[in-house]
């Protein structure tokens, strides 16, 4: 099976749904953010602070490139498509799922989630996060082969819906 790639804004559930899919299919999860931190030996906020967003995006591209093998679940970070080299790789894939949700619900989920520190959402006004979403929204649609509404669904429901689409 060609790998299942999850894209979408922060808080849309890419990491959570990725974990669930990896369990259900018993295949490897590539959690891009986690691998970036492992390779760098520092946290995502530390990378943003020390290397800037540009440094983070190049690291993200390297991890994506090295892990685009078949038969995996790939949970990306919400900004991966802003880097043209990464967008190009993802645009070539055919099991790309855009987890799309009401932005207000996503903001609520982000603000409740204290485990994942998100430098591009922390300390930001709601209006700024909404602007960032609007800037990115079209790129998710352009890259996606499937759009899944995640607003009023559980993580398990979303994972099941994805499995149905790929015929598993
Ligand atoms: N469908 C959902 N229903 C309820 N909570 C969710 C759902 N999807 C994600 N969450 C919660 O929202 C937060 C962000 O989810 P996460 O998987 O880290 O998203 P992403 O990787 O897309 O940023 C987590 O606390 C997670 O438990
Ligand atoms: O939207 C973004 O630019 C980012 C999203 C984060 O991943 P999640 O979408 O999993 O939160 C993480 O990659 C980093 O903080 C940058
Ligand atoms: Mg994530």
Q: What is the pLDDT along the chain (168 residues), one digit of tens a residue?
A: 899 999 999 999 999 999 999 999 999 999 999 999 999 999 999 999 999 999 999 999 999 999 999 899 999 999 999 999 999 999 999 999 999 999 999 999 999 998 778 999 998 999 999 999 999 999 999 999 999 999 999 999 999 999 999 998
Domains within the chain, CATH numbers bracketed:
4-165 (3.40.50.300)
Quote the ligand 2 centre to 144 CA distance (angstroms): 18
CA atoms of 1 and 163, how far apart (whole Å): 12
* pTM metric for this prediction: 0.98
- Ligand 2 mean position to 77 CA, how many Å? 4
Ion ligand 3 residue ranges (Cβ < 5 Å): 14-15
Distance in Å, CA 119 to ligand 2 centroid: 8
Half-sphere exposure of 65 (CA within 13 A, CB side): 11
- Residue with CA at minimum distance from ligand 2 atom 3: 79
């Amino acid at each position: 099976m060609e790998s299942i790639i999850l894209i979408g804004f922060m808080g849309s559930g890419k990491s959570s749904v990725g974990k669930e899919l990896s369990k259900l299919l018993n295949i490897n999860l590539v959690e891009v953010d986690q691998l970036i931190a492992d390779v760098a030996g520092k946290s995502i906020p530390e990378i943003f602070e020390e290397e800037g967003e540009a440094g983070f995006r190049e690291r993200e591209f390297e991890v994506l490139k090295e892990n685009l093998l078949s038969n995996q679940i790939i949970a990306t970070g919400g900004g991966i498509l802003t880097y043209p080299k990464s967008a190009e790789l993802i645009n070539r894939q055919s099991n790309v799922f855009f987890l799309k949700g009401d932005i207000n619900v996503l903001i609520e989920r982000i603000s409740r989630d204290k485990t994942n520190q998100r430098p591009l959402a922390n300390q930001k006004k709601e209006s700024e996060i909404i602007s960032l979403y609007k800037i990115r929204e079209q790129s998710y649609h352009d890259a996606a082969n499937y759009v899944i509404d995640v607003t009023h669904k559980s993580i398990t429901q979303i994972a099941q819906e994805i499995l149905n689409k790929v015929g598993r």
